[in-house]
Amino acid sequence: MQMYPTVVGFSHRKTSFELLGRIAISPAYLPGMLRALRQEPAIGEVAGLTTCNRTEFFCLARSVEHTRRAVLHGLSELQCMTVEELEPHCMALEGSEAIRHLLGVTCGIDSLIVGEFEILGQVRQALDTARKAGTAGPFLDNLFVRALRAGRAARESTNISRGNLSVAGAAVALIRERVPDLAGRKALVIGTGDTGHQVVRALAQSGIAAMMLTNRTTGKAQTLAEQMGCTPVPMERMVEAIAACNVLICATAAPHYVVLRQMVEEAGAPAGGGARVLVDLSAPPNIDPAVAGVPGAVLLTMADLTGIAGRNEVQRLEEIARVERLIDEEMAGIESWTRTFPVQEVVRDFRRSMESVRQQHLQRHGRRFDEETLQQVDRHTRSLVDAMLHEVTARLGNLDPDTPEGRHELETARKLFTGGANGKPPSTDST
């Protein structure tokens, strides 16, 4: 049964940030979700991309409807939500549209902050997680590598990322709207991942007087603090650190709230008076929404970045068009590759099957030969397999997998060359 590229998920384009926060999957739970989806008979490969403004699953599947049902069911169980809650906000694409979506995401034109750099690392992490979980196969591996290459090219050949604007930079710009003069102010950054790094750099460039840094892993906080001239603070002293700061930015991947209302209440008013601005860039949210009710506390979330994001997108419309043209060029190459992929897959299965037979016979009869003769037999049988594969590849190359006839012939070849629908290699019982 032929499979197609699909993507199903949720993003800021169609889903509220409140709901995105509830849907977001902690990195600790993502591999389990990927493996559960991969166990679905209709899904051959799967990778998951989860950021502060999207949770999406890219699959090689029999149809987008198979993917959509599996993702909705999996998320409803994992996040204790109903399918009815999720379904109206779900995006589902198949074929070329799914591939173009991945390219748009990686090139930064589908981001909340158009042109931001973080998404490249997040897509790379999505592929790495899928590889380690054993759910990424040759199709998604190749597709993601091509998308990452396109993402780098977009930033090198256009000005889509001019000014190095990022989610972290937008957060600091948002803080400046509330606290115009950061000189003499003190910030607390929670989290040392990619976004945490970006936050620290953006704050350092903003003229903030001092920064404190904390993380669940003390060693990581210590290392980054030394690199950036921050003061490391143990998580156990969180209330004390909150009391000392005027600005707090949380960018962690914890599956629970890290900053609680009680902590902010105990911390009291910030030194020097004025409001204490807290920004939550985490997915799922890591600052208790009840913090907004504490007198003197101003809580900002991803939803509050939309104003800055909108202005940024308008400023980059010309560059977005240039990136879209680049994506058109990349799509031509990818579509050519995807048309031949089913054939390549059959040839790969045939090679694996024939090599298995070859190795079994060598092991069974190898003791009859001396070392030199055995090496000659190995070379000759390898050449024989290569010659057979060449002939098979040439014949299959004339098939069109996009037509019903081509798909039927390809499926017949798959069953013939790999020993049947069960995918087992041909028997080697005969001598």
CA-nearest of 208, 213, 218, 268 to 239 is 268
Would you tell me how many other CB atoms lie within 10 Å of the CB of residue 226?
11
User: Residue 248 belongs to what H/E stretch?
Assistant: strand 247-250
User: Residue 263 belongs to what H/E stretch?
Assistant: helix 261-267
Q: What is the CA radius of gyration of the chain?
A: 27
Q: Are 250 and 286 in contact (CB under 8 A)?
A: yes
Rounded CA separation 164/182 (Å): 20
Rounded CA separation 107/156 (Å): 11
> In the annotation, is 52 catalytic?
yes
Which residues are registered as beta bridge partners of 277? Answer: 247, 298
User: Residue 80 belongs to what H/E stretch?
Assistant: none
Question: What tokens does 224 get?
Answer: 């980054």
For 350-378, give one letter per residue: b (16+ CB within 10 A) or e.
Answer: bbebbeebbeeeeeeeeeeeeeeeeeebe
* CA neighbours closer than 13 Å in the CB half-sphere of residue 10: 24
Rounded CA separation 213/229 (Å): 10
Would you tell me how many other CB atoms lie within 10 Å of the CB of residue 110?
19
Rounded CA separation 81/73 (Å): 9
Q: Which of 52, 230, 245, 250 is catalytic?
A: 52
Residues with catalytic roles: 52
